[in-house]
Every structure is written in C-alpha cells, then in structure tokens.
Structure 1
C-alpha cells in the first residue's frame, strides 16, 4: 500500500466520522443555545436545567439517526477497509 493510498483512506475515515457526528453535535449545540437563552431570560441558574434537555435531545437524535450512522459506517468498512484488508 502506498503512502498516498493510506492518507486517502485516513481522510475518508475522518469524513465518515464527521458525517456521523454532525447530527448529534448540531442538536447539542441548538439545545445548549436554547437552554442558555431560556436561562438568561428567566434568570434561572440551575445546573440540571442545562444537562437534562441536552441529554434528552442527544438521545432522541441518536435514536432517529441510528440507521444513517450504521449504514455510513458499514459502507465505509465494506467499500474501503475490507477491500484494503483483502488486498485490492
């Protein structure tokens, strides 16, 4: 395996990781901003108020996008890593 092929596989793997984590990270960002805005408007400074809604949003979006994440990861393994292990 050449060095350029190795770096291409690593680059593709990093893009797969970004694509898989983007839904969860974006929902966590939006939920955090919404809770922060709510806390600023109501002057409620409770620590559990920031944790519980973000956790619920992350679990919900993980449940919704689980099929996409699994499909993306298995396609990466099937199309890239397994072929590289076999020697193509």
Structure 2
C-alpha cells in the first residue's frame, strides 16, 4: 500500500464525510442564525427557543436526506472494499 493510495483514501473519506454531513449541518446553522436574529430583535432569551426548532429541522432533513447520505456512505464503503480486494492480489 503506497503513500499515494493512503492519501487518496483519506481524501475520499473526508470528502464523503463532508457530503454526508453537510445537509444537516447547513440546515442547523441556517435555522440557528434565523432564530438568533429573531431573539435579538425581540429580546427573548429562552434556550428552548433555539433547541426545539433545530431538533425538528435536523430530524426532518435527516429523514428527507437519508437516501442521499446512505448512498454516499455506501459508495465509499464499496470503493474501500474494492481497494482491500485489490491489495491482496
């Protein structure tokens, strides 16, 4: 196993993790920003006001994007198994 192969696998792993996690992270950041602006304008400082909407939207994005995220991780796993099979030859 060469150094280039290891670097390629690590790059692929990081890219896959970013692709799989990005939808949830981006929606969570957007909802948090919107709620923060709302709290700043109304001067309501309730902690559950930020937690509950984020929890609901993250759950919805997880349900909607589960197929995409699953396919992304599954294709990475298949590529890793192909690399493992080719190493033993």
TM bin (shorter chain): over 0.9
With normalisation by structure 2, the TM-score equals 0.93
Residue matched to 2:24 = 24
Which of 1 and 2 has higher RCO (CA within 8 Å, sep 6+)? 2
In the alignment, structure 1 segments of 5+ residues that lack a partner are: none
In the alignment, structure 2 segments of 5+ residues that lack a partner are: none
User: C-alpha distance in 2, partners of 1:26/1:83?
Assistant: 32
With normalisation by structure 1, the TM-score equals 0.94
How many residue pairs match? The answer is 87
- Cα-Cα RMSD: 0.9
